[in-house]
Structure 1
Amino acid sequence: MKKRFIGMVLSLSIILTAGVIPAKPVFATSTLTVDCGTTIRGVTHCASGSLYGITESKPGDIAQFVAPLKPNVFTNPALAGSQNQQPIGAAIQVAGRLTNTTGKVMIRLADIYPKWPYAFTNMDDWISKVTNVINQKKASGYSDFYGYEIWNEPDGTWKSTTVSFNDMWLKTYKLIRSLDSNAQIIGPSYSYYNHSRMNDFLTFCKANNCIPDVICWHELGGSKNVSGDIKDLNALESTLGIPGKKISINEYCDSDHYAEGQPGASAPFIAKFERNKVDSACISWWWTGAPGRLGSLMASDTQKGAGWWFYKWYGDMTGNMVNVTPPNDNSNGVDGFACVDSNAKYISMLLGGVNDGTINVNIKNIPSFISSTATVKVEKVDWTSKDTPVSGVNLVSSKSYTVSNGTINVSIPNANNTSGYRVYITN
């Protein structure tokens, strides 16, 4: 993604919608069901990461602003400077800043070239430049790399008339395998999921033995299509006889770009990524004048926003992720994700999204370490804008619930679409 004209796009959107008064939406009952007895996988914090969210100098204090989030993957340009797509945020230098965190760096090779769409020259030049990046990466001595993303949004940015995208992919794939054989190869990184396009790409890859280790695309129109797209890919892999591959959604955001990093918009994304066992996901970067803010989780270079606190709750999750059933998995509506830690003896659920003002949470198959009475603390973090600093979270309620047949029901009144909520259960 490279968006230099967001002001123009948003202005056009305002013009087109001016004078239109939307009807008040009608919602189904906002009830989420947490099944503590159905484990998805161990906690990975798969969706904690961002595109260009860390640079060579921002955020300034990694220990204070980054490490507590237990980040997973950040996507950064292979090279940065006046001759490259991005002026700052070079992957190798960022990897050096992350060595004492859980974070890893995905190297975006396409960012070697300047301009948008990328000013690709020819294969000899490309192979030479990629070889240089691989050698620099290996010489760095850092081990916190996620892999190489060969290209970015080829459905809109591959403009060469002398070599096809598939041929470039094959030659680059072979180069990486020859020079850095254990590294993960990531792609095709389409701007959105398209069945026909993905089918053509994977068919080519299977025939030429160049299937990516991590299949990647972007979800930039909200979370409503995430589960359906992943299910389509899984069916496609089965049809083509390709063993299921890891999935990365290395750019995700709400269709309203001002909601980047918003807790209410983020919760349904994370819920679907966890439910579908996505390997990694990165918050987008629409605000090109403000790099290094962790995908708008930071309100400024030195101030935490509401999103930071929501992702801090996410980072605090340990143990195993368990299944959560939302009212509608194929929507941007209220959704959530939960963990159970039998060693630390707690259940934590985070939730948010479009709702009707009251969110009901049904928790069933509660483990025996909770016994007959559960202490339930409900908290929230409110969001005003991506640029508004937030000093902390707020307590909604703290109550004792009688566990009946392994189940309790928690109701959250006065809920809104933009805040994030945590339901934290102990004995």
Structure 2
Amino acid sequence: MVNRILLVTCAAGLSLASKVINRQSQTATVNLSQMQGAPQHFASGFLYGIPDTANQIPAHFYSEIAFNYGRAGGAQLPAKGYMDGLEEYKPRFASMLSNYRTCRQFGAEFIILLHDLWGADGSESQSDLFPGDNGDWSTWDSFLNQVVSDMRANNMTTAVKVDIWNEADGGGFWLRDRSQFMDMYARTHNLLRSIFPEAQIFGPTFTGQPDPNNVWWTDWLSMIASKNVIPDVYCWHLIRQPGGSGGDDITYSRGVFEQMLQQFGLPSRTINIDEYGSPEEQVPASSAWFMARFERNNIHGLRSVWTGGPSLHDFMTDLLGRTGGGVYFPAGEWQVYRYYGTNMTGNRVATTSSADGFFDVYATASDRVRILGSAHTKTGSYTINVDGMADFGFNTQGTVNVQAREFPFAGLRGEVDGPIDHGITAISFQNNRLVIPATISVNTSAYAWEVFRI
């Protein structure tokens, strides 16, 4: 039976509440004097999650979240992939092509996953063929030429990016040593530049964030500098370690990465985080937190997927559920992405997170100032300082309305019809600053605050 939360009363949301921790002087800010252009929806992409049957998921589920990035390669189908021969590859390519066409239907960019087309999707073993085994690259070269030929034959050349290999450092998809990976990466980069120059190359797509003490990272940076195989887009994943913290903050990992680029004499380029969020972070609270982080850094991110088999190719990475009759419905996180993609219009506004890094907000200004935020997976008492009130047409002092909404979680694919409306509160402000108290009482919920005139 599907869990269900209706758009009802405040008590429905608070029944999930955990103990509220008082975090002293933890304040996020919104600065209305610093507008930053139209919303870009940097967090509205995801890995797999698209059915291979065209239009199986109704279009509004994509369009209302401003879906703009997909990533796939036919993983976990009965066909094993090119490592087992051409016929085992064809169904995987067909799956990827269908996913690509769905993405382009909504104007979304698309990242192809070579390792999945090859067959290294987590089901492979040490006895399977990997690129460059025994110094033989012929099968891998033939594979790359086959993929590019098939893409051209199917008009799959627009808005295409290529992940050379996924998470080679993680041990689940690359079952050879680091040296063979480096050789494969450089060879593939050069061949793709020759046969598919219009595609952007992503790399290294490691599961671990940049770390000067990680030999995968230091060897890769040294190799791309020495062999001049620098990708168009730097890419890695942000996955929190199970039961812990860290590994999921783009602000921190970007800073480390920029220092490492300088160390190796490499140029700055666009960054893409084409997997973000651990299983415990796939709740409305963490989704809102990631949105705030990606928007502040102007970096695209794609949601991770943690289901396998047929479910891998469905449910928009668990943003949706489905009835026994095949009718799709929104889960809790989809409602957050919908608000982010549909309601938050106008101009993006400069923000900062709380000092502890847990409480973060994303804000836009149009008919109302809309603020979306959470304390990641924490609870606590926070404040939001909205500065520059006069720059948005308010006076430097007075009283405004603040409407609060909560985006609850009803479990994996649990149906949520919409946010909980916690009502409108009149709040007085002075000295050009509005202070909004924010008590985060449910560690899985995201919250929105809308500021408007009385």
After superposition, the Cα gap between the structure-2 partners of 1:239 and 1:365, relative to the gap in structure 1 and judged at 3 Å, is: farther
Moved more, 222-231 or 127-136: 222-231
Moved more, 110-119 or 183-192: 110-119
Alignment match, 2:180: 164
**How far apart are the structure 2 equivalents of 1:305 and 1:406?**
38
Q: CA deviation at 1:321?
A: 3.0
Query: What are the Cα deviations for residues 48-85 of structure 1, in whole angstroms up to 9, with x where unaligned?
Result: 11111213138723412111111121111167651239
**How far apart are the structure 1 equivalents of 2:112 and 2:345?**
28
- Write out aligned runs for 1:316-327 (5 A): 316=342, 317-327=344-354
State whether residues 49 and 71 of structure 1, in contact with CA within 8 Å, keep that contact through their aligned partners in structure 2.
yes
> What TM-score do the two structures reach when normalised by structure 1?
0.83
Q: CA deviation at 1:144?
A: 5.2
Alignment match, 1:83: 80
Alignment match, 1:140: 154
Q: Secondary structure at the match of 2:389?
A: coil
Say whether 1:35 aligns with 2:31.
yes
Query: Which of 167, 170, 175 is 1:153 aligned to?
Result: 167
Alignment match, 2:56: 60
After superposition, the Cα gap between the structure-2 partners of 1:348 and 1:162, relative to the gap in structure 1 and judged at 3 Å, is: closer
**How far apart are the structure 1 equivalents of 2:55 and 2:446?**
23
After superposition, the Cα gap between the structure-2 partners of 1:390 and 1:24, relative to the gap in structure 1 and judged at 3 Å, is: closer
Residue 106 of structure 2 aligns to which amino acid in structure 1?
Answer: T
**How far apart are the structure 1 equivalents of 2:165 and 2:57?**
31
Alignment match, 1:346: 368
Say whether 1:335 aligns with 2:354.
no
Query: Which of 201, 222, 228 is 1:185 aligned to?
Result: 201
Moved more, 130-139 or 202-211: 130-139
Say whether 1:295 aligns with 2:317.
yes
State whether residues 304 and 389 of structure 1, in contact with CA within 8 Å, keep that contact through their aligned partners in structure 2.
yes
Moved more, 173-182 or 362-371: 362-371
Q: CA deviation at 1:42?
A: 4.3
State whether residues 346 and 424 of structure 1, in contact with CA within 8 Å, keep that contact through their aligned partners in structure 2.
yes
After superposition, the Cα gap between the structure-2 partners of 1:141 and 1:69, relative to the gap in structure 1 and judged at 3 Å, is: same
State whether residues 33 and 391 of structure 2, in contact with CA within 8 Å, keep that contact through their aligned partners in structure 1.
no
Alignment match, 2:7: none
- Write out aligned runs for 1:9-408 (5 A): 27-39=23-35, 42-57=38-53, 60-77=56-73, 82-84=79-81, 90-115=95-120, 116=122, 118=124, 119=128, 120-122=130-132, 123-142=137-156, 145-155=159-169, 156=171, 157-160=173-176, 164-193=180-209, 194-195=211-212, 196=214, 197-221=216-240, 224-225=246-247, 226=249, 227-254=251-278, 257=279, 259=280, 261-278=282-299, 280-289=300-309, 290-291=311-312, 292-300=314-322, 302-316=328-342, 317-328=344-355, 330=357, 333-340=358-365, 344-352=366-374, 353-366=376-389, 368-372=391-395, 374-408=400-434
Give the root-mean-square deviation of aligned CA atoms.
Answer: 3.0
After superposition, the Cα gap between the structure-2 partners of 1:367 and 1:237, relative to the gap in structure 1 and judged at 3 Å, is: farther
Alignment match, 1:16: none
Q: Secondary structure at the match of 1:235?
A: helix
Residue 262 of structure 1 aligns to which amino acid in structure 2?
Answer: V
Query: What are the Cα deviations for residues 98-152 of structure 1, in whole angstroms up to 9, with x where unaligned?
Result: 3331322111111122252754254221121122222222332256534000101
After superposition, the Cα gap between the structure-2 partners of 1:403 and 1:29, relative to the gap in structure 1 and judged at 3 Å, is: closer
Number of paired residues?
397
Alignment match, 1:5: none
Q: CA deviation at 1:408?
A: 1.0
State whether residues 23 and 380 of structure 2, in contact with CA within 8 Å, keep that contact through their aligned partners in structure 1.
no
Residue 230 of structure 1 aligns to which amino acid in structure 2?
Answer: R
Q: Secondary structure at the match of 1:358?
A: strand
What residue ranges of structure 1 are gaps of 5+ in the alignment? Answer: 1-22
After superposition, the Cα gap between the structure-2 partners of 1:25 and 1:159, relative to the gap in structure 1 and judged at 3 Å, is: same
**How far apart are the structure 2 equivalents of 1:151 and 1:354?**
31
Q: CA deviation at 1:203?
A: 1.9
After superposition, the Cα gap between the structure-2 partners of 1:426 and 1:111, relative to the gap in structure 1 and judged at 3 Å, is: same
Moved more, 171-180 or 392-401: 392-401
After superposition, the Cα gap between the structure-2 partners of 1:386 and 1:104, relative to the gap in structure 1 and judged at 3 Å, is: same
Q: Secondary structure at the match of 1:421?
A: strand
Structure number with the bigger relative contact order (C-alpha 8 A, sep ≥ 6) is 2
Q: CA deviation at 1:382?
A: 1.0
Alignment match, 2:3: none
Q: CA deviation at 1:37?
A: 2.8
Q: CA deviation at 1:345?
A: 3.8
Q: CA deviation at 1:190?
A: 0.9
Query: What are the Cα deviations for residues 315-347 of structure 1, in whole angstroms up to 9, with x where unaligned?
Result: 1233443332222465xx22221223xxx4432
Moved more, 153-162 or 94-103: 153-162
**How far apart are the structure 2 equivalents of 1:252 and 1:162?**
24
Same amino acid, percent of matched pairs: 25
State whether residues 26 and 354 of structure 2, in contact with CA within 8 Å, keep that contact through their aligned partners in structure 1.
yes
Q: CA deviation at 1:219?
A: 1.5
Q: Highest CA radius of gyration, 1 or 2?
A: 2
What residue ranges of structure 2 are gaps of 5+ in the alignment? Answer: 1-18, 83-88
